[in-house]
């Protein structure tokens, strides 16, 4: 074998090692998953390197990369798209062009991205909002909100809540021709977190007269107390959203101080005086057997109260909707929860389904056995259109 051939062989081995990852047998497009993972992993490595050089924060670099995938607010033959502000929060509004004799449904959508990334302008969210508006004959409001690391909790929550309150005003609904009795909220990942949190807040807000008919939570992040759930154990290194990346997102939501991230990774961030909160996220009692099977519950390891004093947000129900007590859950609207088998956040959603059902809330749980985090919003995968169709059908029947 010549030297050139040897070099090519070595290079090929390294490329294959970098690209290849073991994947479950029931994953529909393993090759595409490997390429998407390689793409994201490469950008993550580059963002990490830039951060180590002290040039940019990891999330800021990633946001720059993502901005190249944004779509302009261009209307098409079916939907009118406009950018405006609801209570000083930038939003995109999608209105079907075909005339409607009756008032339309309204859907308030919140994008994901770990409270650090993303926008309503991203190509995937723009396309999904167009499809939803057209196929559901609904007015879709896709909201932005300020992001970490520049802004921390509760800014993201407050931005979304303020935009939602504005949308629910009588004169705003009348302007867009929305039926005040047919309004829903939806969000994926961190957007699912914010959707759950503002829906809980709305129940107790006497100043908001128009209430939500439904909420849709798509693989939502709902608690930062326990990162030792079966879904975190099983999917800790799964593509797109690993355990370490999800923990970083959670910690960045509250602070750029990496000591919180370190404590979260070792499950030593909850002080003993907050031990009572674990009853709301105890997976040994909240997960059905199919999700808990083969796993043993580990009792919490309590840490110093210093982090909780500095960053109390991670113990706040507005950041962790699973911490809501049953009295708050009882007033919630009809709920649709999508979870994916290969997702660290799977058990957050499953536990919320259990808690909502125990509180008497009507819930539809759509668990995607071959699904993964991002399956709804990464349109390159065939599974995305399947989940989107199920989502539209449920909305059409219930909103």
Tokens of 156: 């993201």
Q: What is the pLDDT of residues 325-337, one digit of tens each?
A: 999 999 999 999 9
The whole-angstrom separation of Cα 361 and Cα 326 is 10
Task: Give residue 9's pLDDT band: very low, low, confident or very high (50, 70, 90).
Answer: low
Q: What is the pLDDT of residues 203-215, one digit of tens each?
A: 989 999 999 999 9
Enumerate the H helices of the chain as residue ranges. Answer: 3-19, 30-52, 58-67, 123-136, 155-167, 170-176, 190-203, 230-234, 243-254, 258-265, 283-286, 289-292, 306-310, 326-329, 346-358, 382-398
Tokens of 270: 């909850």
For position 95, which CATH number holds? 3.40.50.1820
Q: What is the pLDDT of residues 88-135, one digit of tens each?
A: 999 999 999 999 989 999 999 999 999 999 999 999 999 999 999 999
Residue 1 pLDDT exceeds 60: no
Tokens of 86: 């609801």
List the domain range (segments joined by +) for residue 349. Answer: 76-398
Nearest to 144 by CA among 191, 202, 106, 199: 191
pLDDT at 179: 98
Q: In the chain, what is the straight-line distance between the N-terminal and C-terminal CA atoms, in Å?
A: 67
Residue 107 lies in a domain: yes
Residue 70 lies in a domain: no
pLDDT at 5: 72
Q: What is the pLDDT of residues 138-157, one digit of tens each?
A: 999 999 999 999 999 999 99
Residue 20 lies in a domain: no
The whole-angstrom separation of Cα 90 and Cα 149 is 19
Residue 46 pLDDT exceeds 70: yes
The percentage of the chain sitting over the pLDDT mark of 90, rounded to a whole number, equals: 91
Q: What is the pLDDT of residues 222-239, one digit of tens each?
A: 999 999 999 999 999 999
Residue 65 lies in a domain: no
Residues designated as active site: 189, 343, 373
Residue 97 lies in a domain: yes
Residue 27 lies in a domain: no
Task: Give residue 16's pLDDT band: very low, low, confident or very high (50, 70, 90).
Answer: low
Tokens of 166: 């504005």
Tokens of 186: 């939806």
Give the global pTM: 0.96
Mean of the per-residue pLDDT values of the chain: 95
Q: What domain count does the chain have?
A: 1
**Mean pLDDT of the region 383-392:** 97
Residue 2 lies in a domain: no
The whole-angstrom separation of Cα 361 and Cα 47 is 43
The whole-angstrom separation of Cα 80 and Cα 375 is 27
Residue 134 lies in a domain: yes
Residue 194 makes CB contacts below 8 A (sequence gap 6+) with 110, 145, 156, 157, 160, 187
The percentage of the chain sitting over the pLDDT mark of 70, rounded to a whole number, equals: 97
């Amino acid at each position: 074998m010549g030297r050139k051939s040897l070099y090519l062989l070595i290079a090929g081995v390294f490329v294959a090692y970098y690209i290849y990852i073991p994947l479950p047998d029931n994953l529909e497009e393993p090759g595409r998953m490997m390429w998407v993972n390689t793409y994201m992993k490469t950008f993550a490595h580059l963002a990490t390197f830039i951060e180590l050089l002290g040039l940019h924060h990891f999330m800021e670099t990633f946001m720059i990369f993502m901005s190249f995938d944004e779509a302009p607010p261009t209307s098409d033959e079916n939907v009118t798209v406009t950018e405006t502000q609801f209570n000083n929060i930038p939003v995109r509004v999608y209105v079907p062009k075909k005339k409607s004799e009756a008032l339309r449904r309204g859907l308030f959508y919140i994008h994901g991205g770990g409270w650090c990334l993303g926008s309503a302008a991203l190509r995937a969210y723009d396309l999904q909002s167009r499809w939803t508006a057209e196929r559901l004959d609904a007015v879709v409001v896709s909201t932005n909100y300020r992001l970490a690391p520049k802004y921390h909790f509760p800014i993201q929550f407050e931005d979304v809540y303020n935009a939602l309150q504005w949308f629910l005003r009588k004169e705003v609904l009348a302007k867009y021709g929305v039926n005040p009795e047919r309004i829903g909220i939806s969000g994926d990942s961190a957007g699912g977190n914010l959707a759950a949190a503002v829906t809980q807040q709305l129940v107790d807000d006497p100043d908001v007269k128009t209430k939500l008919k439904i909420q849709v939570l798509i693989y939502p992040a709902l608690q930062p107390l326990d990162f030792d759930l079966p879904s975190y154990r099983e999917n800790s290194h799964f593509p797109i959203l690993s355990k370490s990346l999800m923990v970083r997102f959670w910690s960045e939501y509250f602070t750029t101080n990496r000591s919180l991230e370190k404590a979260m990774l070792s499950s030593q961030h909850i002080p003993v005086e907050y031990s009572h909160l674990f009853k709301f996220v105890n997976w040994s009692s909240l997960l059905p057997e199919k999700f808990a099977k083969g796993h043993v519950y580990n009792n919490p390891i309590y840490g110093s109260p210093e982090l909780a004093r500095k960053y109390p947000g991670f113990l706040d129900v507005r950041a962790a909707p699973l911490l809501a007590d049953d009295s708050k859950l009882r007033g919630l609207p009809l709920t649709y929860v999508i979870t994916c088998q290969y997702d660290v956040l799977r058990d957050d959603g499953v536990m919320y389904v259990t808690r909502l059902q125990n509180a008497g809330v009507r819930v539809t749980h759509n668990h995607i056995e071959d699904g993964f985090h991002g399956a709804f919003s990464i349109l390159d995968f065939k599974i995305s259109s399947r989940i989107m169709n199920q989502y539209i059908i449920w909305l059409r029947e219930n909103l």
